[in-house]
Structure 1
């Protein structure tokens, strides 16, 4: 048996249950907190969804301020504006309420407020271990897992680059995971965030930095997501499917936060930065082709993943199961109507013109180094070309 070296980090409190958001005031009280700045987005405010968070706080007699200028792909300029808002009040915590973007924004605000400077100063491999205030995360999608991770992804607007920022400063103090908040999520978002969660779990499991605890969480997440993603997509009010997807997303978040993601995420971030494709959707576009490229580096692990997701039978050998994983991911993309970059409306000349830069940025993120098969820049360019053609998805 080889020696195990493991460093595992997680929120101090993870509350997973229907109606968890109604306990937000009690959770703050557990940690002696009473002056929150809620970080959310305009949709949560305009749709009234934010009341799920604000009403329990008001009922407890807490004065609450709201910063709602977050954007779909958080930018350094938004973070700077958020820090200015933070400095205007005597806040003692941040509540990130919404999808991954508001939660990532709250995390980055805490880090930038603690150290000052520019957001790019904290880009990996810098260890962003200090946060000015604790973050309480309340996700409203079953996807990013940001409520459980020590990562945040912020776009550098001057350099057109999605920056991975990692450290204990980005780790929420507590997370309230309430699947009832996902009932109103549209099918496209359900699909994209669901595949995002599946990618987190799969990459955590095959990562060169995997460990026994991340393995257990990743395998459990793959089982939950594989069995329920199509149901949640087709039946938005199915409580059992929504609950399973929410738990799977959090398990996958804990898994990849402690073993890291790999090539899919490394290639996905530049697509988001240059073409503003939502993160989960760009992962979905890439997943079949990147898995096909990578499978030879960890056939046994990919085979076990296929069995857990439900693409392969228990009696299938690793090689056969790994092959079924690729075809299963292709079929899942078709069932969830995942578009190719061309179908999504990206201009081919613009895509081709960014390939070398995107490959360079993917490698610079460090994530591809965790992949079972570590690619060259030329191989990444080739994968981007394959994904553009939709070769893997249309076999």
Structure 2
């Protein structure tokens, strides 16, 4: 079977990597750029640091700093309006998945026209979007290297998943100087998001040898370094390894796809405006238990157990429970809530509606098992009760 592998053209890693951006911008001949970020990164001076690189490269820039967590259609539309008014040649996203996804959505609409809602699904754009530089400030979403972006639709109270190589970032910067100030809760949530990416890529219907290489290595690196990064944000070695791991996990799922965890998390997070990484982390063990009914998944759980460093000899029947228990322990160890009830906002009366949204989510198509609505409700219910 023929495979297509998408990858970012240029990625920079490590402490001080932002300094490598200036000559690349000069090569691109950029004269006008829009820096897309949130108010915190603007007020903290991080945006000014990136802006200085733009100025040193000879580019004028303006700042759009109204990105919100779980960015909505309105946030994207405001960013589009700014980009069009200023006639910029480049979008520079500074932040985690929210900023980068906002820039991706804006880049597609600016280049191709229409509305952001028209691009929900797979491969809906007609040509590449406006070029994007992503300066990543978290170690989790992988958005700086994927062909995915997510936008919240407030009308349906859900998240729209877009899969489109035309949204790919041109240059990704993973500079740990921008990550060291992440608080423990954000470090944990984004790190568990990255682990979910790696696991779902490995279990995906579209997994292949290249995505497996990335997915299993990312699992190993995350379980070894996430607890250290949560415990001490100034642990440079752990931060650096998490930056590599989330990026590699992103490349894995960008090409293999995701699954039921993300489909359910998109519905949950969009409805209640909950942190995406936390939704993934809470749902992950319950979806893994559901997917362990698949013979393909049970075989792959043995490789997952080995990648995570679990001790012992496993069979297809014993590997899944061991992996699920390990994931529970890892989540608890980094401070993730044990169940959906602890998130306070979640109401089981909404589970049937959330299940309908999850079943139509783009990510569900690569899950090994296609669940029924009642089965999705059952998983939500199990995750609520804990």
Matching residue within 320, 323, 342 for 1:322: 320
SS at match of 1:261: coil
Give unpaired runs (5+ residues) of structure 2.
none
Tell me the equivalent position of 2:358. 362
Matching residue within 240, 243, 262 for 2:240: 243
Q: CA deviation at 1:33?
A: 2.4
Residue pair 2:122, 2:164 contacting (<8 A) in 1 also: no
Tell me the equivalent position of 1:121. 118
Say yes or no: does 1:305 pair with 2:304: yes
Tell me the equivalent position of 1:91. 88
Q: CA deviation at 1:321?
A: 2.7
SS at match of 1:154: strand
Q: How does 1:244-263 map to 2 (within 5 A)?
A: 244-263=241-260
SS at match of 1:64: strand
Deviations for 1:221-263, whole angstroms, at most 9, x for unmatched residues? 1111011111111111111110111100000000100010001
Say yes or no: does 1:29 pair with 2:26: yes
Task: State the alpha-carbon separation in 1 of the partners of residues 273 and 107 from structure 2.
Answer: 25
SS at match of 1:296: coil
Tell me the equivalent position of 1:393. none
Matching residue within 344, 349, 352 for 2:348: 352
Tell me the equivalent position of 2:152. 155
Q: CA deviation at 1:128?
A: 2.9
Matching residue within 333, 336, 340 for 1:335: 333
Q: CA deviation at 1:369?
A: 2.9
Deviations for 1:89-123, whole angstroms, at most 9, x for unmatched residues? 13111111111100000000011112322221111
**Alignment RMSD:** 1.5
User: Aligned pairs, how many?
Assistant: 383
Matching residue within 346, 362, 368 for 1:372: 368
Give unpaired runs (5+ residues) of structure 1.
391-395
Residue pair 2:161, 2:362 contacting (<8 A) in 1 also: no
Tell me the equivalent position of 1:130. 127
Matching residue within 77, 80, 86 for 1:80: 77
Residue pair 2:129, 2:167 contacting (<8 A) in 1 also: no
> More displaced, 195-204 or 318-327?
318-327
Residue pair 1:129, 1:170 contacting (<8 A) in 2 also: no
Residue pair 1:128, 1:165 contacting (<8 A) in 2 also: no
Task: State the alpha-carbon separation in 2 of the partners of residues 324 and 379 from structure 1.
Answer: 23
Task: State the alpha-carbon separation in 2 of the partners of residues 313 and 129 from structure 1.
Answer: 49
Say yes or no: does 1:43 pair with 2:40: yes
